[in-house]
């Protein structure tokens, strides 16, 4: 994409969003109380939403007939993110529908998976926010800058609500923010909330899930205003599926990342692609970590360890670990302490080891079969349920506690243990994110590592496993009936 092409899109974006905002404003001033529908609980739809989106889509298609468009009211997964407009005709529809003048039009333009341009326009206040990657973040032509705050106790943070996550998750994050001493608010427009972080009106914005049309423009604004954000997807599928959102002044970024459980992108000014992130700094942590003690329903402790921890038989014995599940396809352990008698010279040493050992063998990233982590959940569960015969050839009959390891004890093992915790104890961990946050905390994973602990592809495998397990449970329940 040439500079001229970007500038053509830049000029068109400003023209289109201001016109759309003027149309939205006409609907707003002429609205009548109660004239709206609901797409779901607290999910408002007004006549203005569909009309404004139609106007925006028409203008884009006239100017750039080959570009793709992802709009809130006509959302379907785009074929690619090569040249993609992402449109929210009215963000803050609940405010709009109730006559509250805190809403906006929000448009982003994505080129080859990277958000290059973003604009947010509040037609009531006539505040136009614009951002271009690597160039500027502006409000009505004036540069924007996030605050220089470093003390969370002085911070004003907006916390958005998403029905995709449990009330407990929302309340836990709020409690964490209040514990930090931050002031917490909610304005009802995620896009304007992000613009306000870029402008310095507030110091941070958090929401457990946002659709791309609500946040891509605002995240670019925050980045270009010197703030830090979470990881932004760079594929058409990832953009369509949405993302957890963290946007924050740099001086309190780590504190808010830890409070929210949302990983920071390693460098707020680098490519938005998670795949493009450079390798993270490795922080020190124990060879093994106790993740859960006396896990409900199982009566055992769950540990996570790295290659050194799993190789230390004295450490395993100290923590009464009787079961080991190795998640790493690229790590093997020489467990044999009691070799079989009369072993031929050309054969590798084989015999009994100090623990009951199971190997799953995941790749740390892309390359795993879709069912593999789900199989790992059942392997872990089955290892705990397995009854060992009382025979001389079965030396390790005691179950004890369980250790799940990979090479670093920070990605593959995190994904498997979090999946197990969520599926086996949903009362304590109602979402997969809740379980991952718990494991990160107990494993002492630094927020700067969260973008790869676990790797995003492994998180997707865990989400896939949850869906498969629920589908199996539904079928089994149907058969019982």
> Which residues does the annotation place in the binding site?
72, 88, 90-91, 214
Strands 114-122 and 127-132: antiparallel
How far is 10 from 471, CA to CA, in rounded Å? Answer: 45
SS3 content of the chain, % helix, strand, coil (to 5): 40, 20, 40
Nearest to 55 by CA among 45, 67, 47: 47
Sheet with 356-362, strands from edge to edge, namely 288-292, 302-305, 401-405, 321-328, 356-362
Cα dist from 419 to 163, 212, 227, 376, 467, whole Å: 21, 26, 32, 9, 11
Q: At 336, is the secondary structure helix, strand, or coil?
A: coil
| 3-class DSSP assignment, residue 462 | helix
**Residue written as token pair 């990160």:** 440
Instruction: Give the Cα separation of 328 and 378 in Å (integer).
Output: 17
Report which of 237, 181, 253 is spatially closest to residue 451, judged by C-alpha positions.
253
Are 349 and 339 a contacting pair, CB within 8 Å?
yes
Strand duo 321-328 + 356-362: pairing? parallel
* Exposure of 262 in the CB half-sphere (CA atoms within 13 A): 28
Q: CA of 219: how far to CAs of 108, 129, 144, 227, 257, in Å?
A: 10, 12, 13, 9, 15
The DSSP line for 71-126 is ESTT----S-SSEEEEEEEEE-HHHHHTT-S--EEEEEEEETTEEEEEEEEETTTT
List, in order, residues 6 or more apart from 361 with CB less than 8 Å away.
326, 327, 328, 329
Which helix (H) or strand (E) segment is 40 a member of?
Answer: strand 37-40
CB 415 within 8 A of CB 300: no
Element (H, E) at 255: helix 253-260
Residue among 398, 400, 385, 384 at smallest CA distance from 320: 400
In degrees rounded to 5, what are phi and psi of residue 404?
-110, 125
> What residue numbers does the annotated binding site for Mg(2+) cover?
72, 88, 90-91, 214
Q: Which residues pair with 118 in a beta bridge?
A: 108, 131
């Amino acid at each position: 994409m040439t500079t001229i092409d970007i500038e053509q899109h830049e000029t068109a974006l400003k023209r289109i969003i201001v016109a759309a905002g003027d149309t939205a404003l006409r609907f707003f001033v002429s609205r009548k109380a109660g004239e709206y529908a609901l797409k779901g609980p607290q999910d408002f739809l007004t006549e203005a939403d569909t009309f404004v989106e139609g106007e925006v889509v028409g203008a884009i298609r006239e100017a750039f007939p080959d570009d793709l468009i992802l709009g809130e009211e006509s959302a379907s997964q785009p074929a690619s993110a090569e040249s993609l407009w992402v449109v929210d005709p009215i963000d803050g529809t609940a405010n709009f529908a109730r006559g509250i003048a805190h809403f906006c039009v929000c448009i982003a333009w994505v080129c080859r998976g990277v958000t290059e341009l973003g604009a947010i326009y509040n037609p009531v206040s006539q505040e136009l926010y614009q951002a271009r990657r690597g160039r500027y973040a502006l409000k009505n032509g004036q540069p924007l800058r996030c605050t220089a705050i470093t003390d969370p106790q002085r911070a004003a943070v907006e916390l958005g609500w998403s029905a995709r996550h449990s009330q407990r998750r929302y309340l836990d994050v709020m409690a964490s923010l209040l514990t930090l001493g931050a002031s917490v608010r909610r304005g009802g427009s995620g896009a304007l909330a992000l613009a306000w972080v870029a402008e310095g009106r507030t110091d941070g914005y958090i929401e457990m899930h946002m659709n791309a049309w609500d946040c891509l423009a605002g995240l670019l604004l925050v980045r270009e205003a010197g703030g830090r954000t979470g990881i932004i997807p760079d594929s058409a599928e990832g953009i369509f599926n949405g993302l957890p959102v963290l946007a924050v002044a740099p001086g309190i970024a780590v504190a808010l990342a830890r409070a929210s459980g949302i990983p920071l992108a390693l460098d707020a000014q680098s490519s938005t692609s998670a795949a493009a992130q450079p390798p993270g700094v490795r922080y020190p942590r124990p060879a093994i970590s106790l993740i859960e003690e006396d896990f409900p329903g199982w009566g055992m402790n769950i540990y996570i360890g790295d290659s050194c921890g799993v190789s230390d038989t004295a450490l395993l014995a100290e923590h009464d670990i009787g079961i080991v599940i190795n998640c790493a396809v690229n790590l093997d352990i020489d467990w044999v302490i009691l070799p079989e008698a009369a072993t031929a010279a050309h054969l590798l040493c084989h015999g009994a080891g100090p623990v009951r050992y199971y190997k799953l063998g995941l790749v740390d990233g892309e390359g795993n079969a879709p069912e593999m982590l789900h199989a790992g959940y059942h392997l872990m569960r089955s290892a705990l349920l397995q009854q060992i015969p009382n025979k001389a050839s079965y030396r390790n009959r005691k179950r004890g506690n369980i250790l799940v390891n990979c090479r670093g004890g920070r990605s593959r093992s995190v994904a498997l243990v979090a999946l197990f915790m969520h599926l086996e104890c949903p009362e304590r961990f109602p979402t997969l994110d809740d379980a991952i946050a718990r494991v990160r905390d107990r494993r002492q994973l630094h927020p700067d590592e969260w973008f790869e602990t676990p790797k995003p592809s492994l998180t997707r495998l865990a989400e896939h496993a949850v869906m498969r397990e629920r589908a199996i449970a539904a079928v089994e329940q149907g058969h019982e009936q």
